[in-house]
Amino acid sequence: MTSDSAASPATTLIDLPTIDLRGRDAAGLTRQALGGVLPRAALDVDRAVELVKPITEDVRVRGGAAVREYTHRFDGVDLASTRVPEEVITHALETIDPAVRDALEEAARRARVVHEAQLPGRKDSVPADGLTVSTRFIPVERAGVYVPGGLVAYPSSVVMNVIPAQAAGVESIAVASPPQQEFGGLPHPAVLAACALLGITEVHAVGGAQALAMFAYGTSECAPVDVITGPGNVYVAAAKRIVSGTVGIDGENGPTEIGIIADHTADPAYLAADLIAQAEHDPGSCFLLTTSEKLAAAVAAELSNQAAALNRRDAIEKSLAGESAIVVDPSMDRLIELANRFAAEHVNLQTADDKAVLNKLAHAGAVFVGPYSPVAAGDYIAGPSHCLPTNTTARFSSGISVYEFLKRTGIARYDTPGIYATGSLVYRVGSSAYGAYPYREWAIPLGEMLGSITEGIVRERSLTSGRVVYPPSAVTREQYEWRATVREFDEVDAPNSVTTSVSLVAQLVRVADDSVVWSGAAQEMEPIAQTLSIDAVIAGLSTAAARAIVRLTDEAGSAMRRLAAAGAQQR
């Protein structure tokens, strides 16, 4: 469909500003400079925080009583209980328009497919011999979903927040939505029906800042949550800022935004419809970035024609005239750069080469490619969540996904040779930080291991003969009675204790049992024990030496068991 129509004489023209960037340096349009070039719907969260802080603090202290008081003050509803009875939630689904139910079911199905595909797989890595590292993704235990309910109902927000949480594996999910006087002090029936459709049985008839505080601090009816997500007005954003740190939040998302990048091939009627779909939220920032002056004029005329037939015409005209603009520049690259600086919540591409433009687009909450991908489809049915970053925060954040409900835990597992072979790295990093050799971080467990073997062999050998039998001159009486007490050694002595332990245990294993005659591990240890020096110990045992120690300790354990058995027979 192509339209070149102009506004009829009876149609009120929308005063949509046009900004001509020809001759301006796009590189100079920084985020700070954009404030003086492109209008944007304001979100004064700082001011709202001042108003909201007493409310959240009161809820933290007084719990449910405070929540009910603020609900009565702001919503005109006197609640005996914030929690909606389960039978009411079920009834809402049973009585909803079947066509609406079918649409919600399809929206939920698509959202589940999209978000289950986001789940990360677990993959182990091996940074070094003897070390395995993996990342474990663990869902939070409980999530709170806020669903606004001011001028209109948002059952789609139930789908767009609950499905990612369920896909992530969150076991407990609570929903809060403002009570409506016309529905007997309950949230909108469409919201309740969406909750029932997704198996949510905990719904609270609470809105605004008090709902966020209820989720964060808990009441007698609502246990505190770990994460809060969901859209809302500036007071909801302010409450999120206040409770952030007590709970996780998805972001302080503000008024809706759309940026359309289009060239002469685009249909002005389609562009106008996409702009109006966001402008009707009021407030909202709507921008058309185009290389075509002719297209800019046609879209302006089309906006007036289409808005004239809509029941939210006043809100649309207010948003388009005060917080929106058409930007004209013959350079597509400059327009893309401008879009990246603006980092809009929604970006729609309608150009002759959408793929090339998409590849250069770095910052956007969600992108809709082509004339048949309206933003409204993303708001309700496409699958990805419509809860997206606004106010340039798409530069560093993303829309809601399973990741808002998952924690990442790093898991490292060393085997014995692996940790002993790491000594040199511990030394280098630790000494650079503290100016001293961190012997005890790794020498103590090694010394204790070898020392315990020494003591065990001496003890079991004594049981066998009824007295301490000293081996030939290879091991002196003092060495034979040596005990590992590495904790008592200072930094200079610690390496010597390890060297002595290695040599002593190797020799003790040799004489512990007549049937043991320098097996492979002991033979490996003899030259290692003889050549170990303080410097070598400080530098860290090699992997070969560490593995030989492990084999030697296993062999020593076998000798100890044989000695214990022989001693038991003699007794």
What the chain holds in terms of domains, given with CATH numbers, is 45-250 (3.40.50.1980), 254-398 (3.40.50.1980), 415-570 (no CATH)
pLDDT at 421: 64
The whole-model pTM stands at 0.75
Per-range mean pLDDT, top range of 4-8, 86-90, 439-443, 549-553: 86-90
Given 345, 404, 524, 555, the catalytic residue: 345
* CA separation for the pair 178, 237 (Å, rounded): 15
> pLDDT class for 439, splitting at 50, 70, 90?
very low
pLDDT at 540: 43
> Annotated catalytic, 346?
yes
pLDDT at 493: 39
> What pLDDT digit, counting tens, does each position of 326-378 carry?
899 999 998 998 899 889 999 999 999 999 999 999 999 999 999 999 998 88
Mean pLDDT of 275-303: 87
Pair 207, 71: CB distance under 8 Å:
yes
Q: 296-310, 359-373, 466-480: which range is least confident on average? A: 466-480
The residue ranges of DSSP E strands in 129-207, in sequence order, are 131-139, 142-146, 172-176, 203-204
Closest CA to 403 of 251, 212, 258: 251
Average pLDDT, the chain: 76
> Annotated catalytic, 363?
no
Per-range mean pLDDT, top range of 43-57, 162-176, 374-388: 162-176
Burial 305-314 (b: 16+ CB within 10 A, else e): bbbbeeebbe
Pair 10, 305: CB distance under 8 Å:
no
* Phi, psi angles (nearest 5°) of residue 269: -65, -40
| pLDDT beyond 60 at 446 | no
Residue 77: both structure tokens together = 């509803």
Given 346, 404, 460, 524, the catalytic residue: 346
Residue 251: both structure tokens together = 């972001």
| pLDDT beyond 50 at 172 | yes
Of residues 478 and 275, more confidence is placed in 275
> How many C-beta neighbours within 10 Å does residue 163 have?
25
Helix (H, G, I), strand (E, B) or coil at 246: coil
